[in-house]
Amino acid sequence: MLVAFSVAPSVAADSAGSVSEAVAAAVAVVRESGLPHRTDSMFTTVEGEWDECMAVVKAAVDAVAAFGPRVSLVLKADIREGYAGELTGKLERLEAAIERRG
């Protein structure tokens, strides 16, 4: 499965509204998990089995919770039994489809 999620404290750490330190703590959890992952400006996506992915999301939420009393979590999952390598595979199929249209 693929799980794309965004986690941040509900209250910013400073007057500029930055949550980068809290998000960095969450991304560190993902990187330490050993699961295939990708982080962009809006979401982090992890790939693995249900229990593996949800454990990483929970640990990331726990890491962010250390920065404040309230945490916001947005999560989207693509659950597809029998498939692996979809973190890159879906993009490869998309690029191939675009190329065929060209």
Q: What does the DSSP assignment read for 19-48?
A: -HHHHHHHHHHHHHH-S-EEE-SS-EEEES
pLDDT for 13 equals 73
Report whether 26 contacts 39 (CB < 8 A): no
**Total domain count, the chain:** 1
Are the C-beta atoms of residues 45 and 60 closer than 8 Å to each other?
Answer: no
Over residues 59-87, the mean pLDDT reads 95
| Residue 29, domain extent | 2-101
CB atoms within 10 A of CB 7: 26
- pTM, two decimals, is 0.90
Neighbouring CB atoms inside 10 A of 67's CB total: 18
What CATH number should be reported for the domain holding residue 65? 3.30.70.930
Tell me: pLDDT of 76 over 80.
Answer: yes
* DSSP H or E stretch at residue 62: helix 50-65
Q: pLDDT by residue (tens digit) across 31-68?
A: 999 999 999 999 999 999 999 999 999 999 999 999 99
d(CA 94, CA 50): 24
